[in-house]
Structure 1
Amino acid sequence: MTVITAPEKKSAQPPGRRGGRSAARSLVLGLVALVFGLVVWALASRGVEHLPGPAGVATEAGRMISDGMLFDDALASLRRVFTGFALGVVLAVPVGFLMGWYPVARGLIEPYIQFFRTIPPLALIPLAIVLMGIGETPKIFVIFLAAFMSCVVAAFQGVVDVDRTLINAARVLGASDRTIFLKVVIPASTPFILVGMRIGLGSCWATVVAAELIGAQEGLGYRMQNASTYYLMSQIFVALIAIGVLGLVMDRLLLRAERRLTNWQERR
């Protein structure tokens, strides 16, 4: 007897086309939001005294770019942020894994992490300057702390939240602790670590601006302070926008890395 099966229903749209339409829609919405923001800014500049409009800020940005000033300041701030952020992440991930995997290490290290996590890195700037001078070291140190505190908690929480069923199943199948850690714990903790990195990156940019207000000769934070001394509002806005653009680009790069490294997760 022949069994007739119903034909399988095919998706109306291939995944590639759906992804392309989603990207195009996101781009369109982003452009609409940008235009709306510029219109609101232009209208606000007409009603608020001393608030520069988009045209004036664009003119000032062009002048700073042609002079090389904006490039030098952005490069100095980016170098400090990247150095402190990289050092913080490199140290935070193994410390977080150590705390999450070994209860003894957790009991010894976690009180210090929780104590220093409640102290803003900005509050340590005067102490860092006294102990390390006014060079690059104290600036990178406080940026390092901002990244470290966010990432170490995320890595620790990622290890703690690993599904015990997966670990027990791996043990039943004869996997060693090393194999379980490499094949189960690290992949399951990766989303937590990447979220902590994104949070730490925002803290790094907030910290570098404050760090450059003291003892710096270049950088976007230094440029803002110098411009405020001479009441150059357009220059302040250029530095603010540059910080936002650099931070957004770095965040999007981390987000893309997160999607590639965690493509096994279900997404909405």
Structure 2
Amino acid sequence: MAARSSRTRRPVNYWYHALGVASVIGGLGLWWLASVLNPTTLPGPVDVAARAGELFLDGTLQEHLLASLQRVLLGFVIGSGLAIPLGFLMGWYKPFRAILEPWTQFFRTIPPLALIPLMIVLLGIGEVPKVAVISLAAFLVSIVATFQGVLNVDKTLINAGRVLGASDLVIFRSIVIPASTPFIMVGLRQGLGSAWATVVAAELIAAQLGLGFMMQRAQIYYDLPTIFVGVVIIGLLGLVMDRVLLWADSVLTSWQERR
């Protein structure tokens, strides 16, 4: 057992992590240099960090952050939760594909941000239209990824399962779902990015709380440090959530060979 675990355990790539740290430090250094060269138009990392501390101490940052995070998580869960089973149905059953694919492709050509005014008119200015638009953005990305994952399952594996007497349910559970998982996880990661982009735009139009609202209000007063705080927070939250999905991907697809 110990020998098996030693074979499957991957060595730590210290050079890879060192390059990542160096990239972050280099980016911060370039940002600082640009702020020194343009002190009146571009706040530096120290100024932004100081402003973030001020917003954190008076509780403003936490309120806006939690509001945006709740909207993103709720919309992402609803959209992806609907997209994955429907994507499986589209890929596995041709009648479902014939019914759902035209509508999926139709709405994919419409940016979710273009639907925000319509959602506000139909659903009001509360949380419902914001979550609905976020759900749609995550849904469209995830359903296409899941559908494509099912279509790309090796037909040889499916035929081999049928030759061995496996039912469609067994084939679906043992072959289609595992083989489609890498595509699904890519779709979830892209859907998460779409959710963050959509929530910020929704908060710019109609919101009283949220990072997008905070940035819009700061724009009125030309408060560049606060705008940068919002940008950095969104980027960090998106990065952390993406790392969580990437970890889940590595666990769910541990059978897959990786470079």
SS at match of 2:74: helix
| Aligned residue among 233, 237, 243 for 2:234 | 243
Give distance in 1, aligned partners of 2:11 and 2:130.
42
1:3-54 CA-partner distances (Å, limit 9, x unpaired): xxxxxxxxxxx6688623x1x3333222211111111011111223311011
Match of 1:68 in 2: 59
Match of 1:259 in 2: 250
Is 1:173 the counterpart of 2:168? The answer is no
* TM-score normalized with structure 1 length: 0.92
Q: One-letter code of the match for 2:144?
A: V
SS at match of 2:208: coil
Give distance in 2, aligned partners of 1:184 and 1:45.
54
Alignment of 1:27-66 (within 5 A): 27-48=17-38, 49-66=40-57
Alignment of 1:94-243 (within 5 A): 94-243=85-234
The size of the alignment, in residue pairs, is: 254
Give distance in 2, aligned partners of 1:63 and 1:229.
19
SS at match of 1:249: helix
Superposition deviation, residue 126 in structure 1: 0.2
Give distance in 2, aligned partners of 1:137 and 1:261.
33
Structure 2 regions of 5+ residues with no counterpart?
Answer: 1-5
Superposition deviation, residue 69 in structure 1: 1.2
1:57-85 CA-partner distances (Å, limit 9, x unpaired): 11101111111111111111110000000
| Aligned residue among 83, 86, 89 for 1:92 | 83
1:67-117 CA-partner distances (Å, limit 9, x unpaired): 111111111111000000000111001111111111111111101100000
SS at match of 2:153: coil
Is 1:78 the counterpart of 2:78? The answer is no
Give distance in 2, aligned partners of 1:15 and 1:111.
47
SS at match of 2:204: coil
Larger Rg: 1
Give distance in 2, aligned partners of 1:124 and 1:17.
47
The CA RMSD measured in Å over matched residues stands at 1.4
Q: Which moved more, 1:187-196 or 1:38-47?
A: 38-47
1:120-165 CA-partner distances (Å, limit 9, x unpaired): 0000000000000000000000100110000000010011111000
1:194-238 CA-partner distances (Å, limit 9, x unpaired): 000000100110000000012211110000001001110000000
Q: One-letter code of the match for 2:157?
A: L
Match of 1:25 in 2: 15
SS at match of 2:205: coil
Percent pairwise identity: 60
Q: One-letter code of the match for 2:32?
A: A
Give distance in 2, aligned partners of 1:208 and 1:245.
15
Which contiguous aligned blocks of 4+ residues in structure 1 show a shift greater than 6 angstroms? none
Superposition deviation, residue 179 in structure 1: 0.6
Give distance in 1, aligned partners of 2:153 and 2:25.
43
Give distance in 1, aligned partners of 2:219 and 2:32.
21
Q: One-letter code of the match for 1:174?
A: G
SS at match of 1:124: helix
